[in-house]
Amino acid sequence: MRMRNLWTKAGVLGSVSMAFGSMLWSQKKTETNQTGSNPACTEPPSPYELKLVQVLFRHGARTPLKSIPDVMEAQWVPNLLEPPAHTQINYVVTDLEGGPRPSSPVEDSYRANILTGGTYPGQLTTVGMQQLYELGERLRKRYIQDTAFLNPTFSPTEVYVRSTNIVRTIESAKCLVAGLFQQSQRDMVSILTTEAESEILYPNYHGCRLLKLLSGHRWAESSTLPDIAADLRSIQSALGIAAHQRVDFILIRDDMVARETHGLPCPPALDSWRNTVEQRAVEMICHIYEPSKRENLQLCVGPLFHTLMGNIEDQLQGTTSEPNRKLFLYSAHDTTLMPCLMALGVFDMRWPPYAADITLELHQHRQTKEAFIKVSYIGKDQLIPGCSGVYCPLQEFKQAFSNYSLTSELYESLCNRTESVAEP
């Protein structure tokens, strides 16, 4: 049971709030798929043609997973979860083959508890719904208004939507689609999910025994590192948290940021600790994920990276079962984005904000037909180590990606090992 709780905590733990002002999209038009050009337009056409977009994004603001013990309670009342009318669409949640939605042990664990005020932990709030709607609007500007890459009406043959099987990510996907297509749809939006054992959209401590083995002790160990432990003792004293209470900086940060985002009161003693809480929480997560250890990150992101690259290869080779597919949307968690950013070599040592996104664009040079990948994080282009430019030649990108990509067969083979891997 303890390891199961660890999986639940580490696999889907999420929290954050940063201003969306840092998420401004570039206004520069970098591609167009229109065959005609306007002779009156003074901007020359891009040499690159956009072929495919994949967006991996974090859910929006939510209720905390746990409240900081022994401090003043925030009131998490049901009206904080009211869905705005403009985020409503016609959608259905299925498994990956279109069958009934699988059971969700993670969601069940949330609903075994009730926060002060009467809501469940880990639920998407009105604020979070609006954040994802606005991310959808940003994607709309880039891929519908600026470039006419996507049809302005949702089409399931053009857009694929997958989410972790947790209510807040499912609802986040729904809100993004509402913002992207302004509720314009001829067809039902299917949001695909899978059972917990085979989830690839976060590090799966439940489904991968070796990952549990490698990371389990590091989770417990992260709070005992000398600098972190000293600060934790100090903040517990400052907040009046009893010494026997089991808290860590990730839990404190989760509750703190959730309160701030929703305008709920924080303990005044936290004011002077805010930056330390942020820093120590990130240091803990880096200790857990061990970005310096290739195998650990491989087990965290390997199947997801393989899926993303498979989508790119299918598009280029014309082997996709949906030849009109242009957009893949993956609704996930901060614990998804952080190991992905680490594996890509662009983690900025900041906790990903609510509704943060990693976007991969596949481009093809109009003359040479050479393929390029462009990666952005929260709307800002990233230069991936090993790439000769922001528009990264496909072979260079594949080399960087292949360091962490794992086929499902290799992933399962590694996961079923139970011996500890020797330190290099």
Q: What are the residue numbers of the active site?
A: 59, 334
CB of 352 closer than 8 Å to CB of 303: no
Give the pairing of strands 48-58 and 327-332: parallel
For residue 409, what are the contacts with CB-CB under 8 A and spacing of at least 6? Answer: none
DSSP codes, 318-371: T--S-TT--EEEEEE-HHHHHHHHHHHT---SSPPPTT-EEEEEEEEETTT--E
Q: How many whole angstroms separate alpha carbon 140 and alpha carbon 132?
A: 12
**Nearest one of 129, 162, 163 to 60, comparing CA atoms:** 129
Alpha carbon 118 to its chain centroid, in Å, reads: 27
CB of 191 closer than 8 Å to CB of 161: yes
**Nearest one of 138, 141, 137, 167 to 59, comparing CA atoms:** 167
Residues in the chain, overall count: 424
CA within 13 Å, CB half, 170? 21
Residue 418 has a CB neighbour count (10 Å cut-off) of 9
CB of 171 closer than 8 Å to CB of 124: yes
Distances (CA, A) of 333 to 94, 240, 356, 370: 19, 31, 9, 33
Supply the Cα-derived Rg of the chain in whole angstroms.
Answer: 22
Q: Is 422 exposed, middle or buried (0-12, 13-18, 19+ CB in 10 A)?
A: exposed
Q: Is 385 exposed, middle or buried (0-12, 13-18, 19+ CB in 10 A)?
A: exposed
373: phi then psi, degrees, rounded to nearest 5: -115, 135
